[in-house]
């Protein structure tokens, strides 16, 4: 509800300097009539609906806040006698800090004078972390539910292999996000794993680039076919997800241009049919390929010989659950199901739900 809150604050005289929804939270804290800083923060977060993980620094304290469903991650570490807060455990490893625990859903941690105080202002809820932390967002060496994201992603590949087998010469990942799933897929079926695509590590993630032209150029700059590995081969191409289809279309064409005989695409998550409104600048529904085309149409669009997605139950099994709890899902999986734990309430005049972005509206077409 960042836009709703922002509009109300502007009406009340607040002056914003950025388009970031984080500034909305700062404005709410500043506007609070409570005296203590921690009480001002509690006052502010009771007005927020959505997913968030916040770290705040005052002159005397370090404060961490996680949303009531635990959609966004936040962890606690310790470096000698001092506490550390980070979004992922890999950040703790880098500075030599020891991982202590996750900040619980709906918890505020107040750190003062090397002492940590836990405050839980919200009614208890079962945690529902974002499923895309397991699929894509978290760095592979970060720990999620006792396992590294790398292990979870290998399991996604194993489940994908159980559901979708096809005769092929090699399994090729879309690097780097598809590496672990492709390795799990190949190992489970005893197929050869090859780096058929070579990534340029100096180019960033393409699905969050602000325009289609930049995304298309980004794919060409980011990846190149390893021709000797793929020439005359039937290829199973593994990627972590398929969003707009921009990357997949370019990669499939790249592989065929490099001499591949057939390209069968396997996606290590279900079809993404719904946008995110919890802080990730994902496309609108009209830009999501699976929201507007069926499997055969998507396959034709990306130019593959065949296309298969991991099932929703397969996803849950890979992450360690027997199946999805339909009454109260264990994960925030709205990307695939449209089941938003916190309903998006920001609406524009044309009834489109939207979100604030770090990118200007002019560039986010």
Residue 234 is predicted with a pLDDT of: 98
Residues 157 and 297 in one domain: yes
Domain identity same for 89 and 218: no
* 241 or 350, greater pLDDT: 241
Do 175 and 236 share a structural domain? Answer: yes
Sign of the CA dihedral running 213, 218, 220, 225: negative
> What pLDDT shows up at residue 4?
84
Residues 58 and 155 placed together within one structural domain of the fold = no
**15-29, 113-127, 234-248: least confidently modelled range:** 15-29
* Whole-number pLDDT of residue 348: 41
Read off the pLDDT of each residue in 299-312 and give the average, rounded to a whole number. Answer: 97
Instruction: Identify the domain boundary among 119, 154, 172.
Output: 119
List the one residue out of 171, 167, 165 whose CA is nearest residue 183: 171
**Residue 211 belongs to a domain:** yes
Mean pLDDT along residues 306-328: 96
**Could you list the residue range(s) of the whole structural domain that residue 266 is in?**
132-337
Query: Does residue 355 lie within any of the structural domains?
Result: no
Percent of the chain with pLDDT over 70: 88
pLDDT of residue 355: 45
In-domain check, residue 312:
yes
Rounded Cα–Cα distance for residues 218 and 204 (Å): 8
Helix ranges (DSSP H) in the chain: 2-11, 21-31, 37-45, 89-95, 131-132, 149-163, 179-189, 212-222, 227-230, 246-257, 289-292, 295-302, 312-319, 334-337
Mean pLDDT of the chain: 88
Query: Domain total for the chain?
Result: 2
Same domain for 305 and 172: yes
Question: Same structural domain for residues 163 and 291?
Answer: yes
Model confidence band, residue 211 (pLDDT cutoffs 50, 70, 90): low
| Interval 347-364: pLDDT, tens | 443 344 444 433 333 333
Is 8 among the domain residues?
no
Which pLDDT tens digit goes with each residue over 143-184?
999 999 999 999 999 999 999 889 999 999 999 999 999 999
- pLDDT for position 336: 96
- 35-68 pLDDT per residue, tens: 999 999 999 999 998 889 999 999 999 999 999 9
More confident residue, 328 or 200: 328
**Whether residue 221 sits in one domain with residue 306:** yes
Which stretch of 92-101, 147-156, 198-207, 310-319 has the lowest confidence by average pLDDT? Answer: 198-207
Q: What integer is the mean pLDDT of 177-196?
A: 97
Query: Do residue 109 and residue 187 come from a single domain?
Result: no
Same domain? For 100 and 174 the reply is no
Residue 215 binned pLDDT confidence (cut-offs 50, 70, 90): low
Given this model, what pLDDT does residue 137 score? 93
Q: Are residues 228 and 330 in the same domain?
A: yes
Whether the predicted pLDDT of 209 surpasses 60: no
Q: Is residue 14 part of a domain?
A: no
Based on the domain organization, do 249 and 108 belong to the same domain? no
Residues 193 and 314 in one domain: yes
The model's pTM is 0.86
- pLDDT at res. 282: 66
Asked if residue 257 belongs to a domain, the reply is yes
Is the C-alpha dihedral spanning 66, 51, 20, 29 positive or negative? negative
Confirm whether 36 is domain-assigned: no
In a domain, 68, yes or no: yes
Query: Is pLDDT of 75 > 70?
Result: yes
Give the model's pLDDT for residue 22.
87
Domain containing residue 182: CATH number: 3.40.50.2020
pLDDT of 208 > 70? The answer is no
**What is the four-CA torsion angle of 316, 317, 318, 324, rounded to 10 degrees?**
0
């Amino acid at each position: 509800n960042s836009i709703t809150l922002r509009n109300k604050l502007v009406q009340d005289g607040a002056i914003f300097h950025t388009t970031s929804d984080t500034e909305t939270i700062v404005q709410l804290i500043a506007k609070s009539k409570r005296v203590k800083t921690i009480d001002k923060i509690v006052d502010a977060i009771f007005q927020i609906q959505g997913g968030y993980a916040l770290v705040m620094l005052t002159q005397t304290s370090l404060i961490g806040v996680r949303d009531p469903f635990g959609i966004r991650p936040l962890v606690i570490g310790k470096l000698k006698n001092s506490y550390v807060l980070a979004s992922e455990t890999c950040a703790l490893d880098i500075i030599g800090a020891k991982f202590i625990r996750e900040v619980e859903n709906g918890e505020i941690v107040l750190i003062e004078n090397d002492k940590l105080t836990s405050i839980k202002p919200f009614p208890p809820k079962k945690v529902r972390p974002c499923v895309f932390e397991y699929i894509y967002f978290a760095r592979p060496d970060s720990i999620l539910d006792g396992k590294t994201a790398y292990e979870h992603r290998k399991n996604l590949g194993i489940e994908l292999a159980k559901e979708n087998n096809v005769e092929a010469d090699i399994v090729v990942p879309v690097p780097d996000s598809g590496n672990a799933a492709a390795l799990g897929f190949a190992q489970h079926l005893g197929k050869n794993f090859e780096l058929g695509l070579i990534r340029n590590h100096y180019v960033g993630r393409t699905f969050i680039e602000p325009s289609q032209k930049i995304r298309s150029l980004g794919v060409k700059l980011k990846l190149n076919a390893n021709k000797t590995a793929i020439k005359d081969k039937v290829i199973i191409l593994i990627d972590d997800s398929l969003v707009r289809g921009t990357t997949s279309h370019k990669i499939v064409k790249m592989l065929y241009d490099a001499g591949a005989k057939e390209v069968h695409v396997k996606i290590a998550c279900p079809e993404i049919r719904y946008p995110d409104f919890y802080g990730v600048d994902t496309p609108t529904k009209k830009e999501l390929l699976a929201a507007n085309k069926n499997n055969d149409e998507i396959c034709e669009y990306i130019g593959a010989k065949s296309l298969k997605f991991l099932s929703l139950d397969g996803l849950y099994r890979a992450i360690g659950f027997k199946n999805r709890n339909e009454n109260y899902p264990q994960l925030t999986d709205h990307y695939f199901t449209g089941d938003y734990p916190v309903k998006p309430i920001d609406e524009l005049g044309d009834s489109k739900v939207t979100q604030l972005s770090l990118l200007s509206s002019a560039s986010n077409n």
